[in-house]
Amino acid sequence: METVEKTKLATIWLSGCSGCHMSFLDQDELLIDLAKKVQLVYSPIVDVKIFPENVDVTLVEGAVANEEQLSLLKQARAQTKILVSLGDCAVTGNVTALRNAWSDSDQAVLEKAYVETSDEKALIPMAVPKLLKKVHSLHEVVKVDYFIPGCPPSAALINYVLTELLAGRTPNMEGRSKYG
Amino acid sequence: MVEEGKMNKEIVISPITRIEGHAKVTIYLGKDDSVKEARFHVTDFRGFEKFCEGRPFYEMPSITSRSCGICPVSHLIASAKACDEIVGVNPPKTAILLRRLIHMGQIIQSHALNFFHLSSPDLLLGMDADPAERNIFGLIEKQPDLAMQGIKLRKFGQELIEKVAGKRIHSSDWILPGGVQWPLPKKKADYLLSTLPEALDITLKTISMFKDRLQGLDEEVQNFGNFPTYYMGLVTATGGLEMYDGNIRVVDQDGKIVADQLDPEKYHEYIGEAVEPWSYMKFPYYKPLGYPDGAYRVGPLARLNVASHCGTPLADKELKEFKKLGKNGVVQSTFLYHYARLIEVLCCIETAKNLLEDPEILSERVTSKAFVNNYEGIGVAEAPRGTLMHHYKVDPQGMIRWVNMIIATEHNNLAYNKAVTQVAKKYVKTKQLREGMLNRVEAVIRAFDPCLSCATHAVGQMPLEVQLIDSEGKLIDRKIR
Amino acid sequence: MSVSTVKLKINGVEVTVPEGTMILKAAKDNGTIIPTLCNLEGLTSYGGCRLCLVEISGSPKLFPACSTPVSAGMEVTTESDRLKEYRKMTVQLLLSERTHICSVCVANDQCELQSLANQLGVDHVMFERQWTNDEIDSTHDFLVIDRNRCILCTRCIRVCDEIEGVHTLDLKLRGKDAQVIMDLDDHWVNSCSCTSCRKCAKVCPVGAIYIEGEPVFHTKNKDIAEFILARRNRKWRQ
């Protein structure tokens, strides 16, 4: 039975590598303390399939690379009080955005992977979410409240930011904003 | 989300949760409401094969590491091996030992993640448990000791990587063509040796617990992806389990070795890749059997099927018991990937101990220097989830001109589709959708332990809604999670 | 030999420095560090990066400390909310102009732009990023230039001209299109003037010019220009 109201925490991964989520799990034993203070209401590591209403804090990893991610991000923004860009892909685009250097990058990458380097049935998959023309960092698309750079950000940094947010304070990112 | 197809009804499970990456499953029903087929779609893509073009080859370990945050070390190793070839040098012995050591750490933490953080809620809290609690946070609440063990085992693997390579995730500063950047200080080796016994203890306890529960999991063993396929993995010269080097062995469903000691660099001679319009993940197949008959599996189950021994005493003991579960030592059930995973963790811990106690691992000579001497390099290693191949072609200045990567998880794509079809056929029987039924379809995917960021060199996500529609297109039932 | 001195205030504290000293050096010699990127001891000032802008009372304008000499009674402020805001914006502009992906760069953790962003708390870039894709020139035996990482600080150009004396490097085009080129804009291997001294790689603040196969922390040497200049001028005899 919960006697203290737990903060509703959600996490999403978009077009990244899940390394930031792994860094989140790298909090190791501190996860036990975190579990006492938060309720994980949506995350790739829990079985909730629809993004809920009234989320307090959402951590979003990964850049926006296809249409479904775009609509999920917008939904998360609308249903969350504090949205945090987690990791370099979310904050800057990072490796995921390397394809932006090509014009018509969505076509270029699809042609290469599915037509040029396939042996059988070389075709571009259609019945899957459509790639956007460019890969976007999150704040190009929605308003973001806080940013945690890093590839990935260390578990200690993630823990610091979460601790500050849970206490209602603004994290101080001077000296904590190392990309890469 | 309703999709109209050739079949009259479709059930879509989206997203699959408690796996790495983004996927959905579509279950196609016939007019009589029975399951005809299920498909596993991977729904995001980044495009490494294209955007690496024009980058210098020595950046490839760094870039490909970012394919995946769970198994970045696998990519660092396969990439470094391909780069070693471009440079045309043999890394010094200590560098190889250190690379092997970090590889062990990688496999330990990745397998621990799948077993404890992703899959154990199904096994320990139950497939039909409340979805809100059927996750690692629920485990922390309901079975705190076990959750702590999982956290500690994964921590051991991550610390092994951190102490050797400087960073837990994307430690790309450390590995380079021709060797590694810095040696292992004795203090760190001693620290790791001091935390190793606890990790070993947790593993043995977990294997014991799993074996105890196996009786009660007979239904899962029989129905979760239990079908014959070929199996592929790297082996030593004597047919033992091998993760870093070795040659390819392929074994059929009856345990017969159909191909042995194949050069992994000639992968293109025996592995082809096909594309289907409904998934971003490609479909590798065994060329002698063609597509789609040439389905094969890789990963822990496959590796233990192709290998005759692990090479370390405790793991070998467990392997003997494991092989008894299959005909001619070949275990078919996808569910038993979980068991195989634990045996591999055991083997990796024992191997890590041997490596840490080898005095040569402390030597300071860890880099061989050279530049571009060959214009092509192929690196193959066993990632936690199976055989991983990196293939690069460069110009005389060392700029990448062509990249191909066949990712561990990809190899299992044909098997994924067979497995979800089998589970859906067994459990999606009535006109009533139950949440636990859907979870079982997902659970068989979790047993494979897919790494879809790697497999499509991308990541993405979607919400889940399942709809059951009759042949007139009328909505019968609907479950939203 | 007497040198005339100047008294001025830096952040309210009175300091005395030789006449002709730039504000940047005056501050540094008295324990105050003003952030810079294009400045390098031993090279002439360029004033291009605009990170060292400071406030001088009596003027609403900002002045580049690296190229503004002190004057008697000057009151300089090097830290204020306004300056912090402008520094952060300058770093963001630099990061947005070309393709800067720290995670896979050879200079990761050894980069002055990266560490300045960290120090200032630039946790995101508010400007739209330009994803440039200029071809890397790796034709030289061991020197490489990746112009996608260049911040046009011109340290490489100045060290090649002033210290090595051969002026292999210069700029072509203007504004954000400006590029560092070798001789008359040919591949590095075809340069007839380059002596392969590697000073350009040693002074590059980011990962734009580097040496193949050599870890960046090994290559970089911010003291090289000052050191050679001092030796050349026989400064140790004083």
Residue A37: inside a domain: yes
Residue A123: inside a domain: no
Contacts of B55 in chain C (CB under 8 A): 136
Contacts of C106 in chain B (CB under 8 A): 58-59
Tell me what pLDDT residue B430 has.
57
Interface membership of A98 toward C (CB under 8 Å):
yes
Question: Residue B215 burial (CB < 10 Å; 0-12/13-18/19+)?
Answer: exposed
| pLDDT tens by residue, B374-395 | 999 999 999 999 999 999 999 9
Candidates B2, B3, B7, B22, partner chain A, best to mutate (most A CBs within 10 A): B22
Residue found by looking up tokens 């999982």 in the block: B150
| pLDDT tens by residue, C4-63 | 999 999 999 999 999 999 999 999 999 999 999 999 999 999 999 999 999 999 999 999
Alpha carbons C95 and C128: distance in angstroms, whole number: 10
Q: Which CATH number does the domain housing residue C74 bear?
A: 3.10.20.740
Who among C108, C144, C213 is closest to B369 (CB)?
Answer: C213
Among C31, C53, C79, identify where a domain stops: C79
Secondary structure (3-state) at A111: helix
pTM of the model: 0.90
Among C79, C110, C143, identify where a domain stops: C79
* Contact state of C104 with A95 under an 8 Å Cβ cutoff: yes
Instruction: Looking at the structure, tell me whether residues C131 and C222 fall in a common domain.
Output: yes
Instruction: Looking at the structure, tell me whether residues C135 and C202 fall in a common domain.
Output: yes
How many contiguous H segments (helices) and E segments (strands) does chain C have? 7, 9
Query: H/E element holding A147?
Result: strand A146-148
Tokens found for residue A70: 């775009």
Q: What is the mean pLDDT of residues B419-443?
A: 82
Interface membership of B17 toward A (CB under 8 Å):
yes
pLDDT in tens, chain A (180 residues): 445 689 999 999 999 999 999 999 999 999 999 999 999 999 999 988 899 999 999 999 999 999 999 999 999 999 999 999 999 999 999 999 998 988 777 777 777 777 676 676 666 666 678 889 999 999 999 999 999 999 999 999 999 999 999 999 999 999 999 999
- Label residue B466 by pLDDT band (50, 70, 90): very low
Interface membership of C96 toward B (CB under 8 Å):
no
Domain span holding position A72: 7-99+132-166
Secondary structure (3-state) at B94: helix
Who among A50, A51, A129 is closest to B44 (CB)?
Answer: A129
Residue of C nearest to A171 (CA): C121
* Contact state of C124 with A91 under an 8 Å Cβ cutoff: yes
Other C-beta atoms closer than 10 Å to the C-beta of A108 total 17
Contacts of B44 in chain A (CB under 8 A): 15, 65-66, 69, 129
A54: Cβ contacts below 8 Å, ≥ 6 apart? A8, A79
Residue A119: inside a domain: no
Instruction: Looking at the structure, tell me whether residues C89 and C205 fall in a common domain.
Output: yes
B 276-315 residues inside an 8 A Cβ radius of A: 276-280, 282-283, 285, 291
Who among A18, A49, A128 is closest to B280 (CB)?
Answer: A128
Strands B247-251 and B230-235: antiparallel
Could you give the ipTM of this predicted complex?
A: 0.90
Domain span holding position C19: 5-79
Contacts of C142 in chain B (CB under 8 A): 371
Contacts of A14 in chain B (CB under 8 A): 459-461
* Contact state of B43 with A68 under an 8 Å Cβ cutoff: yes
**Angle at alpha carbon of residue B149, lines to B148 and B152, rounded to 5°:** 85
Instruction: Looking at the structure, tell me whether residues C138 and C175 fall in a common domain.
Output: yes
Question: Residue B190 burial (CB < 10 Å; 0-12/13-18/19+)?
Answer: exposed
Q: Which CATH number does the domain housing residue C98 bear?
A: 3.30.70.20
Q: Which CATH number does the domain housing residue A94 bear?
A: 3.40.50.700
* Contact state of C104 with B59 under an 8 Å Cβ cutoff: yes
Interface membership of C213 toward B (CB under 8 Å):
yes
Instruction: Looking at the structure, tell me whether residues C41 and C95 fall in a common domain.
Output: no
Question: Residue B182 burial (CB < 10 Å; 0-12/13-18/19+)?
Answer: middle
Question: Residue A29 burial (CB < 10 Å; 0-12/13-18/19+)?
Answer: exposed
Distance in Å, alpha carbon of C150 to nearest chain A alpha carbon: 16
* Contact state of B169 with A16 under an 8 Å Cβ cutoff: no
In this structure, of A172-176, B129-133, B232-236, C229-233, the range with the lowest mean pLDDT score is: B129-133
* Contact state of B54 with C135 under an 8 Å Cβ cutoff: yes
Distance in Å, alpha carbon of B337 to nearest chain A alpha carbon: 19
Nearest residue to B175 via CA among B74, B51, B52, B107 = B74
Alpha carbons B374 and C126: distance in angstroms, whole number: 43
Contact C37, C200 (CB under 8 A): no
Q: How many domains does chain C have?
A: 2
Interface membership of C132 toward B (CB under 8 Å):
no
User: b/e map of C74-98 (b: 16 or more CB within 10 Å)?
Assistant: bebebeeeebeeebbebbbebbbbb
Among C26, C56, C79, identify where a domain stops: C79
